[in-house]
Amino acid sequence: MNRTKSQELFSRAQARIPGGVNSPVRAFMSVGGDPVYFKSGRGGTFVDADDNEYVDLCLSWGPLILGHAHPAVVEAVIDAARGGLSFGACHEREIQIAELILSAFPYHEKIRVVSSGTEAVMTAIRLSRGVTGRPLILKFDGCYHGHVDGLLVKAGSGLATQAIATSQGIPESITACTLTCPLDDEQALREIFRVHGGQIAAAIIEPLPANAGLLVQRTEFLELLRELTRANQAILIFDEVISGFRLRFGGYAGILGITPDMTTLGKIIGGGMPVGAVLASAATMDQLAPLGKVYQAGTLSGNPVALAAGIATLNQLSDGAAYMHLEDLGWLMESELRSSGIGCQRAGSILWPYLSSGEPPRRPDAVSSEAINRFNSIHRPVLERGYYLPPSAWEVCFLCTSHTPEQIRGFTRVLAECLRG
């Protein structure tokens, strides 16, 4: 493939943008080579600056469940934009999206809409601390919750549960308020609550961890987390920024049969535009300003154009038909990968080819470095054959309603060929 224009654009970008990118994983650092510059997308494919077309298996990291430029979403955005880009004041779409989202989360009563998943998590953390009057947050190794200071952490050494920062610029006084626990480890979880239970404001977890591969958890582990948070009056936050509306019209919590106290959302609820949200009981949510003393605000929160994209996307999903179609596509990809001998973990339309044999990992430290190296070595050859995988072995693939069985079969054939070398 000729990518002269992409290369020129990347050179220009590097002169003015750190690493040439506005979000680090886009820089292709772990898979090597230069990033590709895109100019348009439609359905399950997008086109780069040199007019090469790719089947998109990254889909903007999850929001584009209907694919690129879905006509209903684009129409809604154009219509909203004609009526004004931002009001900084109240409008009806705020109520429409609140009602639509809450109809799918019957265990929550109120919602605050923000502009990103990170902002939603940040709000959820502050609100949890405000409501409980406690300082500590429990996080699980391998889960990602956006670039919130106190959550950019990894486990400390030895038996300590005290977190250490994974980024410079985060004072110890902040990480001192985060505890970490391995996924899939009941004993460690019990011990943390035994020692710190009375000081934990909230435990935050991706109920379907999808940021260090797809680390599907045993329901018993999540049930224990629910039990311990309840027994210790700590808030259980399900971070469903990826899983919310991805597998069903609602949360992954509904599949698990576990009810969290708070949910954070993002990605799909914005349909490709910047929208995040926090949901909880009315009593909890009313602790937010202006009614309560926990402050949170945003110039562009509930932006009318962004909400138009979110509402249009959710309306396309609400009758459930899209999920049946996505399940069929997901199953096709999983079975094609397996019949080519490629290990694959899947939840609906989220797939993670983990490129090693044996049981799918449930913790990041169970992922072999050979599998990571294998992914890094095939990323470029797969790209050259017209399939855009997320540029990191730790990232999952997403399918959209407009992917076709031919595209999926084409991808699995190419992946198998590239793995054979």
Ligand X SMILES: Cc1ncc(COP(=O)(O)O)c(C=O)c1O
DSSP class of residue 360 equals P
What is d(CA 177, CA 138) in angstroms, rounded to the nearest whole number? 9
User: What residues from 145 to 174 belong to the interface with ligand X (CB under 6 A)?
Assistant: 145-146
Q: Interface with ligand X includes 63 (CB under 6 A)?
A: no
Q: Interface with ligand X includes 121 (CB under 6 A)?
A: yes
Collect all residues with Cβ–Cβ distance below 8 Å to 176 and sequence separation of at least 6: 162
Rg (CA), the chain: 21
Which position has the token pair 């999903």? Answer: 317
Q: Interface with ligand X includes 242 (CB under 6 A)?
A: yes
Distance linking the first and last C-alpha atoms of the chain: 19
What is the smallest separation between the CB atom of 7 and ligand X, expressed in angstroms?
27
The residue with its CB nearest to ligand X is 117
C-alpha 228: how far from chain center: 25
Q: Interface with ligand X includes 239 (CB under 6 A)?
A: yes
**Binding residue for ligand X, selected from 241, 262, 277, 285, defined by CB under 6 A:** 241
**Binding residue for ligand X, selected from 6, 45, 52, 118, defined by CB under 6 A:** 118
Q: Which of the following is catalytic: 37, 144, 323, 387?
A: 144
β-pair type (53-56, 387-388) = parallel
The residues facing 38 across adjacent strands are 48
Q: Interface with ligand X includes 246 (CB under 6 A)?
A: no
Query: Which residue stretch of 46-54, 70-78, 234-242, 337-345 sits at the interface with ligand X (rule: CB under 6 A)?
Result: 234-242
What is the smallest separation between the CB atom of 60 and ligand X, expressed in angstroms?
10
Reported residue count of the chain is 421
Residue placing its CB nearer to ligand X in the complex, 49 or 247: 247
144 labelled catalytic: yes
Query: Which residue stretch of 25-33, 40-48, 89-97, 144-152 sits at the interface with ligand X (rule: CB under 6 A)?
Result: 144-152
Q: Which of the following is catalytic: 48, 184, 239, 261?
A: 239
What is d(CA 366, CA 18) in angstroms, rounded to the nearest whole number? 33
Q: By CB under 6 A, how many residues form the interface with ligand X?
A: 15
**Coil/strand/helix, residue 262:** strand
What is d(CA 238, CA 242) in angstroms, rounded to the nearest whole number? 11
**Binding residue for ligand X, selected from 266, 348, 353, 361, defined by CB under 6 A:** 266
Residue placing its CB nearer to ligand X in the complex, 25 or 165: 25
What is the smallest separation between the CB atom of 116 and ligand X, expressed in angstroms?
4
Strands (E), 93-199: 110-114, 136-140, 153-155, 163-165, 178-181
Q: Interface with ligand X includes 391 (CB under 6 A)?
A: no
What is d(CA 144, CA 264) in angstroms, rounded to the nearest whole number? 12
Among left, alpha and beta (phi > 0; psi -120 to 50; other), residue 199 is: alpha
Q: Interface with ligand X includes 206 (CB under 6 A)?
A: yes
What is d(CA 174, CA 196) in angstroms, rounded to the nearest whole number? 17
**Binding residue for ligand X, selected from 10, 46, 144, 323, defined by CB under 6 A:** 144
Query: Which residue stretch of 117-125, 126-134, 293-301, 339-347 sits at the interface with ligand X (rule: CB under 6 A)?
Result: 117-125
State phi, psi for 289 to the nearest 5 degrees. -60, 140
154 labelled catalytic: no
267 labelled catalytic: yes
What is the smallest separation between the CB atom of 351 and ligand X, expressed in angstroms?
16
What is d(CA 138, CA 201) in angstroms, rounded to the nearest whole number? 8
Q: Interface with ligand X includes 132 (CB under 6 A)?
A: no
Q: Interface with ligand X includes 277 (CB under 6 A)?
A: no
Quick one: which H or E segment has residue 172?
A: helix 172-175
Give the DSSP letter string of 311-337. HHHHHHHTTSHHHHHHHHHHHHHHHHH
Residue placing its CB nearer to ligand X in the complex, 97 or 342: 97
Residue placing its CB nearer to ligand X in the complex, 28 or 419: 28
Residues that bind ligand X (CB under 6 A): 61, 116-118, 121, 144-146, 206, 211, 239, 241-242, 266, 276
Annotated catalytic sites, by residue?
144, 239, 267
